Amino acid sequence: MANKTQPTDHSPNQFLESLENPAQKVDARILLEMMQRITGEPAIMWGEAIVGFGRYHYRYASGREGDWMLTGFSPRKGSLSVYVMPGFECYQQELKQLGPMKTGKSCLYIKRLSDIDLDVLEYIIADSVSKMRAKSEAGSA
């Protein structure tokens, strides 16, 4: 069984232009540029509201497998969701330096980029992309 959220042919730029909150639109453009630079990949819409970059294939012991983005973000109503696929266990020190945020399993929730240290965010994203690429190449994503 694969993910129900799949890449689409919708335009990430049109999606970002449709955002109603001007500050969120600016933050989304900053993340778009940062993630493109880090991954060297173009932005692709995953589903209706996730802007993703790159791709890796995963296969679990249960037999479930599919493709997912290396990193991405989604401008949600209350915050920006930034996807850090390896999770946050190895980023505890960086999270202390980042600024106000919350975490989920692989999501970093940030209200405004102006509240956090962008250099720390860039490090976390770049390192997570590197880890996911290495895992994917080893066949254990």
Those residues whose C-beta lies under 8 Å from the C-beta of residue 90, and which sit 6 or more positions away, are 131
Looking up residue 47, the CATH number of its domain turns out to be 3.90.1150.200
User: What is the span of the domain harbouring residue 112?
Assistant: 12-138
Residue 7 domain-assigned (yes or no): no
Residue 1 domain-assigned (yes or no): no
Q: Find where tokens 């509240």 sit.
A: 115
Residue 54 domain-assigned (yes or no): yes
Q: What are phi and psi of 30, to 5 degrees?
A: -65, -45
**82 beta partners:** 73, 108
Residue 2 domain-assigned (yes or no): no
Residue 82 domain-assigned (yes or no): yes
Those residues whose C-beta lies under 8 Å from the C-beta of residue 20, and which sit 6 or more positions away, are none
Q: How many domains does the chain have?
A: 1
Give the pTM.
0.91
Other Cβ atoms within 10 Å of 68 Cβ, number = 23
Q: Is 133 helix (H, G, I), strand (E, B) or coil?
A: helix
pLDDT one digit per residue (tens) for the chain, 141 residues: 456 788 999 999 999 999 999 999 999 999 999 999 999 999 999 999 999 999 988 777 888 778 889 999 999 988 999 999 999 999 999 999 999 999 999 999 999 999 999 999 999 999 999 999 998 776 655
Amino acid identity at 16: L
- Find out whether 113 and 27 touch, Cβ atoms under 8 Å: yes
Alpha-helical (H) ranges within 18-73 are 22-39
